[in-house]
């Protein structure tokens, strides 16, 4: 089964814009079309974002959704995390991409491909936007 890891921005969109492409991606995961991995770092990062936007209930929904439908990817630390320091432009994206690679994801879905060193990342997995990834499932 395909292993798909998602970036924090995808998860945020899925829970704040129901019916959008990010929601469609999560529905496919619910239908077990692929195995979805959510980096622990993303969940931690999103907690503060949801609190700041006064969306605590949506955050609790997100946490429960992960428990029911996805795998929480352990946050790499130390030397492992340091291996990926050149894989992202923004220091906050490093733990997310490191998690996806260490989890052996086949795909990493993000709304911010330009934030990553695509050539380096794609030595390990393929990066897609949501829309490009969803096109793979149009004929299924």
Which residues, including other chains, have CB under 8 Å from residue 3's CB and lie 6 or more apart? 34, 35, 37, 103, 104, 105, 106, 107
Q: What are 128-137's pLDDT values in tens digits?
A: 999 999 998 8
Give per-residue pLDDT as tens, 55-78. 899 999 999 999 999 999 999 999
Among candidate residues 46, 38, 33, the one with its CA nearest the CA of residue 133:
33
Domain parsing of the chain, residue ranges: 3-135
Give the CATH superfamily of 3-135. 5'-nuclease (3.40.50.1010)
């Amino acid at each position: 089964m395909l292993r798909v890891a998602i970036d924090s921005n995808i998860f945020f969109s899925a829970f704040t814009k129901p019916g959008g492409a990010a929601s469609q991606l999560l529905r496919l995961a619910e239908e077990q079309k692929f195995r979805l991995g959510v980096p622990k770092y993303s969940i931690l990062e999103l907690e503060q974002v949801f609190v700041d936007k006064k969306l605590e209930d949506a955050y609790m929904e997100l946490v429960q959704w992960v428990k029911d439908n996805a795998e929480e990817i352990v946050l790499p630390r130390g030397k492992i995390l340091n291996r990926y320091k050149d894989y992202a432009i923004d220091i906050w994206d490093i733990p997310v991409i490191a998690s996806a690679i260490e989890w052996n994801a086949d795909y990493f879905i993000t709304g911010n491909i330009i934030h990553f060193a695509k050539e380096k990342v794609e030595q390990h997995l393929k990066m897609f936007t949501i829309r490009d990834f969803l096109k793979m499932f149009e004929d299924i």
